Amino acid sequence: MATAKLTPLQELEAKRNAPAAPKRTFTEEEKAIRRDRVAKAKDALARSVGAKGEHVTSARAALKTYLQRLNEPKQPDEEQFAALIEAPFKPPPKKKSNDRRY
């Protein structure tokens, strides 16, 4: 059987008329964890305003991205989140050079 190819306008109409995906409901425990994480992320952003270093801008951008993507299903685990919060205040480790001169 040959399937009829839809025009872009027909595709948009089909998507608009399609049933909406069911909304995900969060438990009270999940809501509390999210509220706590948001508060910590906002606090880290506020405290890192005066921080200096090359690592600060990328760490602040990562925090902002985290706050923008709160409703996405994949969230960082506790260890990753702790590293995200500490990133603006902790300079990255220095790279070791292979220079053998004394």
Residue 21: pLDDT over 70:
no
pLDDT given at position 3: 63
8-17, 18-27, 47-56: the lowest-pLDDT one:
18-27
Cα-flanking dihedrals φ and ψ of residue 82, to 5°?
A: -60, -40
Average model confidence (pLDDT) across the chain: 84
pLDDT per position as a tens digit, 53-91: 888 888 899 999 999 998 888 888 899 999 889 988 887
Closest CA to 58 of 88, 89, 94: 88
CB atoms within 10 A of CB 91: 13
Question: In the prediction, which pLDDT does 25 show?
Answer: 80
Q: What is the pLDDT of residue 42?
A: 94
The Cα 20–Cα 79 span in angstroms is 34
